[in-house]
Chains A and B, each alone.
Chain A
Amino acid sequence: MDAFKRFLTARDEPENLRRLREDAFAVFTGMGFPAVKSEDWKYTNVAPLMGLDWKVSEGQPKVPADVDWELLEVFDGGRNGFTALNVAFGEYATLRIAKDTVVDQPIEFNFAAADGTAQFPHLLVIAEAGSKATIVESYESTAKSFTNAAIQIVVEDNANLTHYRVQKESADAFHYGVTEVSVGRGGVYNSTNINLGSALSRHDIELKFRAEGGEAWVDGLYMLNGSQHSDTHSIIDHTVPNCTSHQNYKGVLNDSARAVFNGKVLVRENAHGTDAQQSNKNLLLSNDARVDTKPQLEIFNDDVKCAHGATVGQLEEEELFYLLTRGLPENLARNLLTYGFAEEIINKIGIDSIKSNLDAAVLNRLKVKLEIENI
């Protein structure tokens, strides 16, 4: 409470923003952090995070917060205690990609919090009609820190937005993030979400098609070891006809790591002509690793093409035998197959510097050194 007051007084902000923060803080005080008894948080216990005393990240910008109010107002801050807290302490920034503009260079946002501190970035991204751009949202805290992030994205009519979200915080960090997307007529949203870091992380995704002809990819990879825990909850909401969604999430779990994937695809009554594909494949490399996967399709219209599936398993024996017959020792062959499994997602990334960085991170996770360099 005191921390919040200090935070408010240290800032010279307009009344409406102040009020927004105060209201959100009141919501947080009322609801607290999510508890495991709530169905949505059944497998993810945030107690370890609550017991700690976090300082709000220093060195906040003194420039006035850049808020797109129209967009911020539709944010569901009351979704849970984290989102309420994010609105209360939010460091707001707006990115507007002008109508019919093609931005060739990726637009990057990097966030890192220092030891013992919490950061609350809140990005508002509007890709105006007919624009095309790539954004990179990356979280790179190297210490025991707490990130509570939100990004709201509007893809307007016929805009095309590629979104890479990379979370590779330290293995001591805590991470909560929410991604809210709305896609307009003929809009294309293509995202790849990589989760490698944090002791405990949760990513909520909510994508809504607002008009016909939209297409979205919501793909991701979680690769965990030690006692890491990562939870992804996503909702892809087909509220209108003739939209296409693809979701391909993969997981690689070692040691006693644990992952949760809960992906809901909702096809509303009038959403005829929907094409929705969803897949979640998991590779368990140790007996103690565990994944709880729950792909869900809720369809209220007959004229749709939908498929979903989830697998949890070990490496394919036939693939392993094939590599052995080419002279690769078993340990190397297993690691190469694991690498390949993860690469299917990493290979989607169209920016070389990010891709090679993630390649290295994936290789680093494997317990044998693989000498793979691309030419």
Chain B
Amino acid sequence: MLLEVKDLHAGIDGKEILKGLNLQVNKGEVHAIMGPNGSGKSTLSKVLAGHPSYQVISGEVLYEGKNLLELEPDERARDGVFMAFQYPVEVPGVSNSQFLRLAYNEKMKHLGTEELDPLEFNDYLKEKAKVVEMSSEFFKRSVNEGFSGGEKKRNEILQMAVLEPKLAILDETDSGLDIDALRIVAEGVNKLRSEDNAIILVTHYQRLLNFIVPDMVHVLAGGKIVKEGGKELALELEEKGYDWVKAATK
């Protein structure tokens, strides 16, 4: 098993948000975690990525059988955990290609494989950029600075393509996207989907799941998974609304 979350309780500023969450993810699977606002979706993403503002109260997270919670955010990343941000951060003054090459080479160093020089990396990056239909004009621009909402989200998927994570958590990647950008992002994710990795789609809406079809859908409410099923669950949810799940679990 790639990821196993057991009875996870976690929160921020002393407030418990996740109240006993369980989740199992295997390689080759795509899981959707759906839930209304405030259900704990973002908290789950941030706890998995290791955001310092979030505290784990109890429970366990095993990644490839190891205790993920013990690792610093950068160690998790080099071990193959990736989170696409809901609100990607702008890093002025640092170009996309400089940043991606540093990140890529840190990972290569960690794996004990060869690092790429700027020219080699540029070729690699060009190839990867096709995944999200990004032109090389974006490579020289500062990371996310002045990017539109859609460009920022595509840039997140480009980073995923470059870093080739084993576990990718896409935190509301569909929010704020128009239909064209959504299609590009979703197609990018589909191209990156493989037997060797797993993807967790965290989303409020079913819309994204028309493009990226999940193997499993989990419904999060009140800090717990309250319902699980196949891809049909998302459609049912869309039709009946979150109140249906909330009512059914009371």
Q: Which residues of A contact B (CB under 8 A)?
A: 317-319, 321-330, 332-333, 336-337, 339-344, 346-347, 370-375
Contacts and interface: CB of A to CB of B under 8 A. Distances in A.
A333 B74 contact: yes
Given A329-B74, A344-B93, A322 B102 contact: no
Nearest to A370: B102
A344 to B, nearest CB: 5
B106 A327 contact: yes
16 contacts: A321-B73, A322-B88, A323-B103, A324-B50, A324-B73, A324-B74, A325-B49, A325-B85, A326-B103, A330-B74, A332-B106, A340-B91, A340-B142, A371-B102, A371-B105, A372-B98
B99 A326 contact: yes
Contact of B102 (A321, A332, A346, A374): A332
Contacts of A371: 102, 105
Contact of A325 (B77, B93, B98, B105): B77
Q: Classify chain B's interface size.
A: 35 or more
Contact of B82 (A317, A325, A329, A332): A325
Contact of A328 (B49, B52, B102, B119): B102
Contacts, number: 90
Nearest to B165: A327
Contacts of A370: 102
A328 B103 contact: yes
A160 B190 CA distance: 52
A329 B52 contact: no
Given A327-B74, A327-B163, A318 B102 contact: no
Given A324-B74, A327-B77, A374 B88 contact: no
Contacts of B82: 325
Interface in B88-127: 88-95, 97-99, 102-103, 105-107, 110, 118-119, 122
A375 B118 contact: yes
B78 interface: yes
Contact of B93 (A317, A321, A340): A340
B83 interface: yes
Nearest to A373: B118
B52 to A, nearest CB: 7
A336 B102 contact: yes
A329 B102 CA distance: 10
B92 A340 contact: yes
B98 A374 contact: yes
B89 A319 contact: yes
Contacts of B97: 375
Interface in B118-154: 118-119, 122, 142
B165 to A, nearest CB: 10
Contacts of A339: 93-94
B111 to A, nearest CB: 11
Contact of B77 (A324, A373, A374): A324
Contact of A327 (B51, B88, B93, B103): B103
